[in-house]
Structure 1
């Protein structure tokens, strides 16, 4: 999907209006938080918190590597 948005003036700030098709792809709506991160080719806008994904990957790594220890601690 390619979308073009226009920057508009909102008070002393600037903003963009996201088309409903783009919001649907992001699974986001009014009041949701979107995350903007730098990417090699520009910026990336996602509804998923990139820090959370990194933390979950680290937790899954620990759970795989230390499965026996975690099993003992759970008892």
Structure 2
């Protein structure tokens, strides 16, 4: 399924011993991000996808891992 693509160039800048990417305001607004927020990226067959996630994502994942660990045998039986 091909979607129209709006291609824009981003600038890489030197930041100490690292390199950063300058994101335009419209990208930050769309991702609901501001300076200091965290951004995640995912490798996809078409390249890299950027996304923001809520502050509670890590705690929700930790809770899910705990449940999966505690109920591993039950979940394994249910998967049959």
Q: Tell me the TM-score normalised to structure 1 length.
A: 0.59
Structure showing the higher helix proportion among its residues: 1
Unaligned segments of structure 1, at least 5 residues: 60-75
CA distance in structure 2 between the partners assigned to 1:11 and 1:32 by the alignment: 19
> RCO higher in 1 or 2 (8 Å CA, sep ≥ 6)?
1
Unaligned segments of structure 2, at least 5 residues: 1-5, 65-80
CA-based RMSD of the aligned residues comes to: 2.2
Q: Tell me the TM-score normalised to structure 2 length.
A: 0.55
- The alignment covers a number of residue pairs equal to 53
